[in-house]
Structure 1
C-alpha cells in the first residue's frame, strides 16, 4: 500500500488486495515472460487471470491504436492483468494521462509502460509532415504536432522511422515521469515508467 499522504485512502477490506500487487521489478519481469511466451507460442502454464471483482491489474500500458499490436496478447496477459490506454502513436492528451493517473492512484498498478512499434503509421505521417511542411487539417494535426519533435532532421544519419519511434517513446516516458502524482512513488521505487518497442514481424518487445 502506498504511504503517499495525498493518495486516496484504501478501504480496510481492500488492503490485502493491494498488498498482493507485484513491485515494479516483478511487474516488468511478468511482462517480459509473457512476451517470451507470446513469441514462442507457449501458453501461460498458470492460466489466464480472469476479470471481475477479483481482477488485480499490476501494470498500465499506453499503446498505439494499430490493430496489429493487440497489447494484452503481445505481453502474454489474460483478462484482468493489465490496463490498456490507446491512442494513435501513443500520443498523450488529457484523457490518456488521466487514465494513466487513474490506474496508478485508484487501481494501484506498479508499472507504466509506453509501447511503440515499428511501421507506425502515425509516426510516418508526422515524418512526412515534417519533411514536406504540410500539416493535416482537423484533429489529426494535434497528433502530428505531438510526434513531430521526435522526428530526426532530414538528412541526419539517424533519420529513420524506427529512430523517430524510439525517440517518441522516450519522450513520452519522460513526460509521464514528470507527472506530480508519480514523483513521490518513483522516488520511493514503488512504481516505474518504462518504454517498449514492438517488432511486428517477430512479436518481440525490446524494453528501452
Structure 2
C-alpha cells in the first residue's frame, strides 16, 4: 500500500514517519495517470466535477494525502488542477517557467515521492510555451536574455534541434524538453529504486491550448 499523510501542523510524527492509522487506497503505477486523463476528458467535454469551492471537504481537512505530483509550466493558461479536473488534496504541483527545475524544484518532487509516496509524477508541457519559444528565438537570433531568465533558456536549449523545420521547431523542442525533464527526474536517487520496483511512474505529457486536451508522450 502507498501511504504517507501529512497533518496540517507537523510533517513528521515523533517516530519520524508520516504514516498513521488511516489507510489510503492502494494505486498501481497506472491508475493515477488514468484518473488524471479521465479528469482531462471531463474538462475537454465542459463537464468538470470539481469547482474548487473553499468549503469543499477536501479543502478543510487536516490530512494531506495526494496521489500524484504534476510538474508544469507557470503559464496562466495551464493550471494543472483545472485542466486535469482534480479536487483539493489530489495532486501536488511544482510550476516554473518551462518546467525548468532548479534544486528547489527537484527537492519538491523528491519530497512528493519520498514523503507523500506518490505513485505518479506527470511532467506536463504545453503548446505555445513562451519559455521554449524564447529559447528558440535566442538560439536563432543570438539574443540571449540576461539574469535568471537566461538560466531558463540555457536549460531548454539542449532540447532544440537547429536542423528541425523552422515551422515545427518550437513544438518539437517542447516535446523533447518534456522528455529531458522526465529523464532527469527518473535518475534521481529518490526515484530510481521506486521506478525499478514498480511503485513509481514518471510520465511526460503535452497540453494543447487549442483543444484543452492532454496527450501522453512517448
When normalised by structure 2's length, the TM-score is 0.85
1:177 to 183, 186, 207: 186
- Aligned residues of 1:61 and 1:83 also touching (Cα < 8 A): yes
Asked if the contact 2:72–2:125 (Cα under 8 Å) also holds between the matched residues in 1, the reply is: yes
2:62 aligned residue (44, 47, 53): 53
Between 150-159 and 92-101, report the one with greater CA deviation: 150-159
Residue 10 (structure 1) aligned to one of 17, 30, 34: 17
Give the gaps of 5 or more residues in structure 2.
3-14
- Aligned to 1:196, which of 188, 202, 205? 205
Aligned residue pairs total 200
Give 2:149's aligned residue.
140
- Which of 44, 49, 63 is equivalent to 1:44? 49
What is the Cα-based RMSD across aligned positions, in Å? 2.2
1:24 paired with 2:46, answer no
Pairwise CA distance, 1:108: 1.3
Q: Provide the rounded CA distance (Å) in 2 between the counterparts of 1:89 and 1:112.
A: 16
Relative to the length of structure 1, the TM-score reads: 0.88
Aligned residue among 127, 136, 139 for 1:130:
139
Unaligned regions of 5+ residues in structure 1, if any? 3-7
- Greater fraction helix: 1
Say if 1:11 and 1:171 are closer, same or farther in 2 by CA, change over 3 A.
closer
Distance 1:112 1:174 in 2: 12
